[in-house]
Amino acid sequence: MDRFYIITNTMKDRELMVTRKIAEYLTSHGKVCRVRDVAGEDRSGDYHYTDADQIPDDTECILVLGGDGTLLQAARDTVEKGIPLFGINLGTLGYLAEVGRKGIYPALDHLMEDRYEIEHRIMLNGKVYRRGVLLKEDIALNDIVISRSGAPRVVRFNNYINGTYLNSYSADGIIIATPTGSTGYSLSAGGPLISPAASLLLMTPLAPHTLNSRSVVFPSDDTITVEIGPGRDEREEHGMASFDGDTTVEMVTGDKIIISKSKKDTRIVKISNISFLETLREKMGNN
């Protein structure tokens, strides 16, 4: 790789000291490295964190400095570019970022010497409808969460697979996750861990009002529809759909969100093909 672009979470590298050192290291080896210009971004643009229009089309790798949350936002903002992302963790241990501060320079050497692999991670596409009218469409790398809003009471969620009724949950919410997202919110709600290389969709109820609810795994070519059901005495309930914990859209009884595998994917640069297992072992404390 010869041409790089850096996206930095300025909350974790406030003075851009790490960012500048990386840029200097790459340029000292004859590589091209551009750094995201926060001041030059048009904040009225349709993006979450990074203006992808600033990224040169000939960029070969986007270095994302921050943590898993930063990488999630970068993935959504740059998906149309199709440029591989490499995560550098400046916070606590995550699953997406490939290396921490101590491993930065050896990792850069790997990238410059083309000693890496590209991992394709599936993404979700979600479309929210109200009485047949599209309210919002967005994508997610980790998960789409449909949850209650307003009063602290459970909501009925009616679930359909490929148009056929599956079940209903009375719960705080429903998490539809990718394998990448199986290590996130779904895991904390009792969902299983899935290898990020898999092509599956995971449905996990969030605090279900029952004793026997479990996560369900579906093939990635299935379409999942979640409908906000009526409340007690047929009153209108309020909920929301959240894309990767960022973009949200309000929903009410009768609204539906149709979720399927996105035609776009996220490309993650890996310099170690066992890094997911290593991170998993460290997270679980099994050394």
**From 13, 51, 68, 143, the catalytic residue:** 68
Region of residue 244 (left: phi > 0; alpha: psi -120 to 50; beta: else): left
Find where tokens 């409340």 sit.
231
Identify whether 51 is a catalytic site residue.
Answer: no
Asked whether 19 and 8 are in contact (CB, 8 A), the reply is yes
DSSP the chain: --EEEEEE-TTTSTT-HHHHHHHHHHHHTT-EEEE--STT--TTSS-SS--GGGS-TT--EEEEEE-HHHHHHHHHHHGGGT--EEEEE-SS--SS--B-GGGHHHHHHHHHTT--EEEEEEEEEEEEEETTEEEEEEEESSEEEEEE-SSSS-EEEEEEETTEEEEEEEESEEEEE-TGGGGTHHHHTTPPP--TTS-EEEEEEES-SSSS---EEEETT--EEEEEPP-GGGPPPEEEEEETTTEEEEEETT-EEEEEEEEEEEEEEES-TTHHHHHHHHHHT--
Residues tagged active-site? 68
